[in-house]
Structure 1
Amino acid sequence: MSDEEHIFLARVAEQAEKFEDMVNYLKPVLDSKGAALSTDERNLLSVAFKSLISSKRAAWRTITAIEQNPKYQKFGDALGAYKKKIESALYADCEHIIDIVQSKVLSKSSEEEPRAFFVKMVGDYYRYIAETAQGDKLEQVKQAALKAYDEANQISLPPCNPIKLGLALNFSVFYYEVMKDQKRACELAEAALSLALDKIDEISEDDFRDAKSIIELLKENLTLWKEEESGQIDDL
């Protein structure tokens, strides 16, 4: 099949909520194009990957909440075993996604913008593992995520570039939620906001729309963090 056919079927799989199929239809496109995907194609790939793991992340949070209820203590062992099963499936999916990106994209040369997009993605999926990992596994994925985010952050992109802003958003969430470093999280978010707002009047209307939505998420997170409120933190 052609790349066009694979992309069409990936969109069909998305509508059918067959996210594993969606990922599989996009793999041959990555084989042929690598980092040279269009912005729409990159976004489609991002949706495929995120959708593949979203139900497992939600399931883990639900089971964790049920474990906290005293009336279900007698089912603690069974709940714990089920949660481990969900964790294993989540880790396998995240590690598969990281392997796809590293082998099909990052092993090849690319321009700065798509490279930043895909290196950030590696950081994101290590971060998703870190949300539930413990012990040596947690330390391993924390350091892998930090390395990827640092690498992406070194790539020079304009301050209002949506990838640059998305990186600042997710990197700051990583520091807040995984590294438990509220100060560094706020510093990253504030620095990105300051640079972006300084240049926001110089960008096109389309870029402004994309940048504005991420800027709002950065502002919301900063408000939450500075007030030390608990709750769901926004990311991409």
Structure 2
Amino acid sequence: METKIFMARVADQSERYEDMVDFLKEIVVESSEDVTSDVRNLLSVGFKNLISAQRSAYKTVQAIEQNKKYAEYSEDCASYKEKISEELAKNCQKVIDIVNNDCLPKSKEEEARVFYLKMVGDYYRYTAETATGSKLEEVTENAAKFYQQATEAAEKELKPFNSNRLGLALNYSVFWYELKNDSSKACEIAEKALNGARDEIDNMENEEARDALSIIELLKENLDLWKEEEGAEDD
């Protein structure tokens, strides 16, 4: 086990993220219990880097496709986008399967359970970024389901300033803003998380405060932006 954890770190430093995820999958499959928080953090890093290249590439090709200077190549760009989208969906599904099949069933603590449920919601959301038609509907619905399950578990068991709970609120609010086009619901989720954290801020330990405050800043930035947009629309 220690050897595979070491090799996962080596793969991370070598930017060999498919290898990193494969090492981590072996760890979670072979473990009879849930993995440690350190390994969970490695999972988060490995999974995110596994798909970051495709997410970035898709946005780049999309921007080129929409540039009027390159209108004659729009069909070629659309075809290339589809190829990248398929790769992204495949990698996201790989993450979802690992978490659903090998991590969630072993999670006994609510902290870990919220972490995993949020993660599944995130990777359905990333799939939805490039999906269309019935596939978009399917993955959006799945993202909503897992985010809601994570939210219910977090509100029941985790403190309002817990970094997992705040990170979940951040991503769930982005989901409503970007995929559901509902800035009102996004603001509601972000405000609820911020108010809860503010009420409990005096009870934070130093380490908790450091983790929480960076997420609180992102929530505040999003909330200010979304409310400004809502105000402009009202005007």
TM-score interval, normalised by the smaller of the two chains: over 0.9
Tell me, what secondary structure is at the counterpart of 1:147? helix
Structure 2, unmatched stretches of 5+, are 231-235
Change beyond 3 A, Cα 1:34–1:187 = farther
The partner residue of 1:103 within 101, 104, 120 is: 101
Tell me, what secondary structure is at the counterpart of 1:9? helix
Q: Which residue of 2 aligns with 1:175?
A: 176
TM-score, with normalisation over the residues of structure 2? 0.93
Q: State the number of aligned residues.
A: 227
Task: Quote the Cα distance in structure 1 between the aligned partners of 2:57 and 2:173.
Answer: 24
**After alignment, is 129-138 or 26-35 more displaced?**
26-35
Tell me, what secondary structure is at the counterpart of 1:228? helix
Structure 1, unmatched stretches of 5+, are 230-236
Q: Which amino acid aligns with 2:207?
A: D
**CA deviation profile, 1:65-106 (whole Å, cap 9, x unmatched):** 001111211111111111100000000000111011000012
Are 1:35 and 1:115, in contact at CA under 8 Å, matched by a contact in 2? no
Task: Quote the Cα distance in structure 1 between the aligned partners of 2:87 and 2:40.
Answer: 24
Q: Which amino acid aligns with 2:142?
A: A
Tell me, what secondary structure is at the counterpart of 1:107? helix
The partner residue of 1:149 within 147, 154, 158 is: 147
The partner residue of 2:30 within 19, 29, 32 is: 32
Are 1:127 and 1:141, in contact at CA under 8 Å, matched by a contact in 2? yes
Q: Which residue of 1 aligns with 2:214?
A: 213
Q: What does 1:1-236 correspond to in 2, within 5 Å?
A: 3-33=1-31, 36-155=34-153, 156=156, 157-228=158-229
Q: Which residue of 2 aligns with 1:232?
A: none
**CA deviation profile, 1:199-222 (whole Å, cap 9, x unmatched):** 111021011100111101100111
Task: Quote the Cα distance in structure 2 between the aligned partners of 1:13 and 1:78.
Answer: 34
Are 1:35 and 1:114, in contact at CA under 8 Å, matched by a contact in 2? no
Change beyond 3 A, Cα 1:33–1:161 = farther
Q: Which amino acid aligns with 1:186?
A: C
Task: Quote the Cα distance in structure 2 between the aligned partners of 1:167 and 1:99.
Answer: 20
Task: Quote the Cα distance in structure 1 between the aligned partners of 2:24 and 2:32.
Answer: 11
Are 1:34 and 1:104, in contact at CA under 8 Å, matched by a contact in 2? no
- Residue 34 of structure 1 deviates from its aligned partner by 6.6
**After alignment, is 27-36 or 72-81 more displaced?**
27-36
Q: Which amino acid aligns with 2:4?
A: H
Moved over 4 A (4+): none
Are 2:34 and 2:106, in contact at CA under 8 Å, matched by a contact in 1? no
